[in-house]
C-alpha cells in the first residue's frame, strides 16, 4: 500500500522539483552581465580552463561570483587564465556591480578600456603581471571606491596623474616595474599602507607624504632622490662640464654592463641542472601566516624579467576546482593552523571573498622541480569522493604549497579518541562501518585508477563529514621526500613491518595500514597505545588482537563503546577477520584493496530489511560508493565549524 502511493507520488514530485529548479535557474541569472562576459571571452584568447557554457548560469562559471540573490556579478577573478591580447572594450565595463576584478598574470596588452570608469563600486583591481601599456588609465582615477590598485609589472608610461588623489579610500597602490616618468605627484597617504613605484623612470624629489615608505618602494628610479633615498643635490645640474657628462655617460654604461652581467649570472645559476633545492628557510613573514617573504615580495632575481617572475609566482591549478584566486589572495587570506603533520603544516585559509581552502606547507621536499611537478600531475588527476582533491600547488625554491578543498569535518582520530568518557556521543557501529567502507573505496581508487600509494595512512588523515562519509587526506606525498626516511614515530602502529627495512611504501603496505585502521575502529584503541604484551612491552595492535583472539575472548577486543546488540557482533567479527587478513606480516598474504572493498560490501548487504538498524531517510550504508563522485562544487563544502 505504502509502496503504491510512493510510485504515484514519485514522478509527480520529480516533475515538481524540476519545475522549481528550472524556474530558479532562469530567475537567478544576471542575463545582461552574462552577455557582457560572453562578449569579453569571444573577444580575447583564453585558456581552456574557462569553459563558460551558455547553458549554465554565469554565477556558476569559473572565476565568477554573484551576490547572494544571484542578480549581479560582484567578483571576477581570472588570474593566469592565459588571456592574450587587449581587453575588449565595452565588456567588463558593463559589470556595473563588480567589487573585485583580477586579471593578473595574463598576457593582456594594449590600454585599459575607458568603460572601466563605469565600475564605480570596484574595491580591488588587480592587473599586475601583464603587458598593458599607455598612460596611467584615466578611467581608473574615477573609481573612487578603490581600496587596492595593482598595475605593477606592465608597460605603462607617462606621468603618474595627481588625479590619483580622487581615490581617497586607497590602501595599497602598486605601480612598480612600469615605465612611468616625470616626478611623483603629491599623494595623500593617510590611509595608504602599501605603496611601490620601484623600477620606473621617475625623477625628482620624493613628496614628503611618501617618505614613510621604505627605500625599496622607490628603488630602481635613477632620477629619484630625497628621503628615504639619498638627498637631492639641486645645484650643479646646469653647470656640468663636458668631462662630467662624459664621466656620467661612461659610468651609466658601466652600470648597465654590470647589471647585464648580474642578470646573466642569475640566469645561469637558475638553469643549473640537478641542483638540490635548499631546505625551506622557514622565515615566515610577520604579517602572514602562510608563505615567506620570498613569495610575496619579489627578490633581487626579479631583474631577470617580469615574465619569469609571473611564472614563478603562479599557483598551478588543476581542472575542476572552480577556484579562481591567486597566490597573492592566498597570502592575504586569514589563516588558521589546522595541524602540524609529518609532511608539513596545514592551514585553513579564508580568502577575502569567503572562499575557504586548506593550504599545506610542505617541509623537507627532497625532489627537484620536475619531479615535484610530475607527482603533482599524478595527484591532480585523482578525483574520488573518498579522496580529498588536490586543487592547486605552488613551487618555488623556498616554498612548496598544496591547496586542497576545505572539508568541514573532524578527523577519525579525534572522533574515536577525543575526550572519551566526558559525555560525548560515541561513534556507533553503523558510522564506523560507513567510514571503513569509504576508506576502502578511496584506497582502492588510489591504487587502481590513481596509480598512487597513500603512504601516510592513519586515522588522523581520515576526514569524517557530518553525514559520516569519509575521505583520505595526505596521500601520495611520499615520493616528494624520497630518500628521507619516513618519520618513524608518527606512523608507528600503521607502518607495515617490511617498510622499516625497505623504506618503500607500496599498495600492500597501505593495505596493512588499512587493516590497522579497521582494528582501531573495532577496538577503539589508537594503534600505538595497544595494551602491552608482557615482557617485550610491544604495542602492536595487530599482534595484540591476535593474541587476544587466540585466547578466545574475542569479545574483549571490541570497543566498550560499541554496546553490542546481538546482530552487530557478527558483523564485527567479520570485519575483524578482514582486518587481520589485511594486517598480515607477509605482504603477499594481504588482499588487495579491490578485494577488501568487495568483502566489506558483502558484509553491508547482510543488513536486515526491517529498518531496525537504520532509519530509511538516511542513505543506506552500502550505497554511498555507487553515487557518482561529487561534482566539483564551486565552493568547497563549508558548514558548521567544528
Q: What's the min distance (Å) between Cβ of 155 and ligand NAG?
A: 6
Q: Are 147 and 124 in contact (CB under 8 A)?
A: yes
Q: What's the min distance (Å) between Cβ of 216 and ligand NAG?
A: 4
Q: What's the min distance (Å) between Cβ of 321 and ligand NAG?
A: 7
Residue pointed to by grid coordinates 557530518: 466
- The number of C-alpha atoms within 13 Å of 7 and in the hemisphere containing its C-beta is 3
Name the residue nearer to ligand NAG (CB basis): 19 or 307. Answer: 307
Name the residue nearer to ligand NAG (CB basis): 179 or 460. Answer: 179
Q: What's the min distance (Å) between Cβ of 402 and ligand NAG?
A: 19
Chain centroid offset of residue 526 CA: 30
In the DSSP assignment, the letter for residue 225 is: E
How many angstroms separate the CA atoms of 103 and 128, rounded? 8
Q: What's the min distance (Å) between Cβ of 113 and ligand NAG?
A: 8
3-state secondary structure of 411: strand
Name the residue nearer to ligand NAG (CB basis): 108 or 453. Answer: 108
- Contact partners, residue 213, CB within 8 Å, separation at least 6: 195, 196, 228
Name the residue nearer to ligand NAG (CB basis): 199 or 346. Answer: 199
Name the residue nearer to ligand NAG (CB basis): 302 or 474. Answer: 302
Q: What's the min distance (Å) between Cβ of 447 and ligand NAG?
A: 24
Query: What's the grid cell of residue 263?
Result: 642578470
How many angstroms separate the CA atoms of 7 and 19, rounded? 19
How many angstroms separate the CA atoms of 542 and 525, rounded? 11
Name the residue nearer to ligand NAG (CB basis): 383 or 445. Answer: 383
Name the residue nearer to ligand NAG (CB basis): 62 or 541. Answer: 62
The percent helix, strand, coil of the chain (3-state, each to 5) is 40, 15, 45
Counting beta carbons within 10 angstroms of the beta carbon of residue 4, is it exposed (0 to 12), middle (13 to 18) or buried (19 or more)? Answer: exposed
Q: What's the min distance (Å) between Cβ of 376 and ligand NAG?
A: 18
Name the residue nearer to ligand NAG (CB basis): 46 or 432. Answer: 46
Name the residue nearer to ligand NAG (CB basis): 319 or 564. Answer: 319
Query: What's the grid cell of residue 149?
Result: 590598485
Q: What's the min distance (Å) between Cβ of 53 and ligand NAG?
A: 7
How many angstroms separate the CA atoms of 126 and 124, rounded? 6
Q: What's the min distance (Å) between Cβ of 440 and ligand NAG?
A: 26
Name the residue nearer to ligand NAG (CB basis): 612 or 633. Answer: 633
Instruction: Find the angle CA(419)-CA(424)-CA(427) to the nearest 5 degrees.
Output: 95
3-state secondary structure of 575: helix
Counting beta carbons within 10 angstroms of the beta carbon of residue 64, is it exposed (0 to 12), middle (13 to 18) or buried (19 or more)? Answer: buried
C-alpha gyration radius of the chain: 30
Asked, as a colleague might, if the bond just before 194 is cis with ω within 30 of 0, I would say no
Chain centroid offset of residue 421 CA: 36
Name the residue nearer to ligand NAG (CB basis): 50 or 225. Answer: 50
3-state secondary structure of 8: helix
Phi, psi of 520 (to 5 degrees): -65, -40
Name the residue nearer to ligand NAG (CB basis): 267 or 548. Answer: 267
Q: What's the min distance (Å) between Cβ of 632 and ligand NAG?
A: 5
Q: What's the min distance (Å) between Cβ of 642 and ligand NAG?
A: 28
Name the residue nearer to ligand NAG (CB basis): 532 or 633. Answer: 633
In DSSP terms, 173 is beta-bridged to 149, 195
CA dihedral 572→576→579→580, nearest 10 degrees, is: 180
Name the residue nearer to ligand NAG (CB basis): 204 or 320. Answer: 320
Q: What's the min distance (Å) between Cβ of 241 and ligand NAG?
A: 26
Q: Where are the beta strands (DSSP E) in 161-260?
A: 172-174, 179-182, 194-196, 201-205, 223-225
Q: What's the min distance (Å) between Cβ of 177 and ligand NAG?
A: 5
Query: What's the grid cell of residue 416?
Result: 574515536
Name the residue nearer to ligand NAG (CB basis): 119 or 491. Answer: 119
Q: Give the residue nearest to ligand NAG (CB).
A: 115
How many angstroms separate the CA atoms of 297 and 367, rounded? 25
Chain centroid offset of residue 10 CA: 41
Q: What's the min distance (Å) between Cβ of 490 and ligand NAG?
A: 35
Residue numbers of the site for ligand NAG (CB under 6 A)? 51, 62, 93, 114-115, 117-118, 157, 176-177, 179, 181, 196, 198-199, 201, 213-214, 216-217, 297-298, 302, 320, 322, 632
In the DSSP assignment, the letter for residue 481 is: G
- Contact partners, residue 396, CB within 8 Å, separation at least 6: 294, 295, 312
Q: What's the min distance (Å) between Cβ of 150 and ligand NAG?
A: 11
> First-to-last CA distance in the chain?
43
Amino acid at each position: 500500500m505504502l509502496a503504491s502511493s510512493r510510485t504515484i507520488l514519485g514522478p509527480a514530485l520529480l516533475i515538481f522539483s524540476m519545475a522549481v529548479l528550472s524556474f530558479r535557474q532562469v530567475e537567478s541569472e544576471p542575463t545582461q552581465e552574462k552577455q557582457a562576459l560572453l562578449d569579453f571571452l569571444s573577444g580575447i584568447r583564453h585558456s581552456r580552463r574557462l569553459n563558460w557554457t551558455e547553458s549554465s548560469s554565469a554565477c556558476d562559471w569559473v572565476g565568477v561570483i554573484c551576490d547572494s540573490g544571484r542578480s549581479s556579478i560582484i567578483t571576477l577573478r581570472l588570474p593566469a587564465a592565459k588571456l592574450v591580447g587587449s581587453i575588449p572594450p565595452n565588456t567588463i565595463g558593463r559589470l556595473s556591480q563588480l567589487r573585485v576584478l583580477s586579471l593578473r598574470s595574463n598576457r593582456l596588452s594594449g590600454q585599459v578600456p575607458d568603460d572601466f570608469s563605469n565600475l564605480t563600486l570596484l574595491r580591488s583591481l588587480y592587473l599586475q603581471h601583464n603587458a598593458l601599456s599607455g598612460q596611467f588609465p584615466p578611467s581608473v582615477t574615477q573609481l573612487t571606491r578603490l581600496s587596492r590598485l595593482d598595475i605593477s609589472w606592465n608597460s605603462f608610461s607617462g606621468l603618474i596623474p595627481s588625479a590619483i588623489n580622487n581615490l581617497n579610500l586607497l590602501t595599497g597602490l602598486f605601480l612598480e616595474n612600469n615605465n612611468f616618468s616625470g616626478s611623483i605627484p603629491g599623494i595623500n597617504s593617510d590611509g595608504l599602507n602599501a605603496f611601490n613605484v620601484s623600477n620606473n623612470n621617475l625623477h625628482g624629489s620624493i613628496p614628503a607624504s611618501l617618505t614613510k615608505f621604505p627605500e625599496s618602494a622607490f628603488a630602481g628610479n635613477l632620477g629619484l632622490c630625497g628621503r628615504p633615498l639619498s638627498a637631492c643635490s639641486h645645484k650643479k645640474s646646469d653647470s656640468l662640464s663636458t668631462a662630467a657628462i662624459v664621466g656620467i655617460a661612461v659610468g651609466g654604461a658601466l652600470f648597465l654592463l654590470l647589471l647585464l652581467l648580474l642578470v646573466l649570472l642569475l640566469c645561469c645559476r637558475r638553469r643549473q641542472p640537478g641542483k638540490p633545492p635548499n631546505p625551506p628557510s622557514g622565515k615566515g613573514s610577520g604579517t602572514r601566516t602562510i608563505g615567506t617573504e620570498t613569495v610575496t615580495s619579489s627578490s633581487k632575481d626579479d631583474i631577470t624579467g617580469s615574465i619569469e617572475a609571473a611564472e614563478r609566482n603562479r599557483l598551478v591549478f588543476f581542472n575542476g576546482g572552480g577556484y579562481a584566486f591567486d597566490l597573492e589572495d592566498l597570502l592575504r587570506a586569514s589563516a588558521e593552523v589546522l595541524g602540524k603533520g609529518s609532511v608539513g603544516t596545514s592551514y585553513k585559509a579564508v580568502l577575502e571573498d569567503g572562499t575557504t581552502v586548506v593550504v599545506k606547507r610542505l617541509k623537507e621536499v627532497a625532489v627537484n622541480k620536475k619531479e615535484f611537478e610530475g607527482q603533482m600531475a599524478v595527484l591532480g588527476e585523482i578525483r574520488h569522493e573518498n579522496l580529498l582533491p588536490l586543487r592547486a600547488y605552488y613551487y618555488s625554491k623556498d616554498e612548496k604549497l598544496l591547496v586542497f578543498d576545505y572539508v568541514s569535518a573532524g578527523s577519525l582520530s579525534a572522533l574515536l579518541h577525543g575526550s572519551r568518557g566526558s559525555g560525548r556521543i560515541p561513534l556507533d557501529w553503523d558510522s564506523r562501518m560507513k567510514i571503513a567502507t569509504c576508506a576502502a573505496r578511496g584506497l582502492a581508487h588510489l591504487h587502481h585508477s590513481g596509480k598512487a600509494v597513500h603512504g601516510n595512512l592513519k586515522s588522523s588523515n581520515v576526514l569524517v563529514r557530518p553525514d559520516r562519509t569519509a575521505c583520505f587526506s595526505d596521500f601520495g606525498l611520499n615520493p616528494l621526500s624520497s630518500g628521507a626516511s619516513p618519520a618513524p614515530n608518527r606512523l608507528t602502529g600503521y607502518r607495515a613491518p617490511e617498510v622499516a627495512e625497505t623504506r618503500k611504501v607500496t599498495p600492500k603496505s597501505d593495505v596493512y595500514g588499512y587493516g590497522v585502521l579497521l582494528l582501531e575502529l573495532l577496538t577503539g584503541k589508537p594503534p600505538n597505545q595497544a595494551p602491552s604484551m608482557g615482557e617485550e612491552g610491544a604495542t602492536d595492535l595487530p599482534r595484540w588482537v591476535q593474541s587476544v583472539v587466540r585466547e578466545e575472548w574475542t569479545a574483549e577486543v571490541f570497543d566498550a563503546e560499541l554496546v553490542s546488540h546481538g546482530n552487530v557482533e557478527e558483523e564485527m567479527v567479520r570485519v575483524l577477520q578482514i582486518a587481520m587478513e589485511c594486517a598480515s606480516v607477509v605482504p603477499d598474504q594481504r588482499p588487495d584493496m579491490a578485494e577488501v572493498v568487495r568483502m566489506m560490501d558483502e558484509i553491508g548487504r547482510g543488513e536486515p530489511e526491517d529498518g531496525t538498524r537504520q532509519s530509511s531517510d538516511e542513505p543506506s550504508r552500502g550505497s554511498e560508493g555507487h553515487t557518482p563522485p561529487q561534482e566539483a562544487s564551486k565552493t568547497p563544502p563549508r558548514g558548521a565549524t567544528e
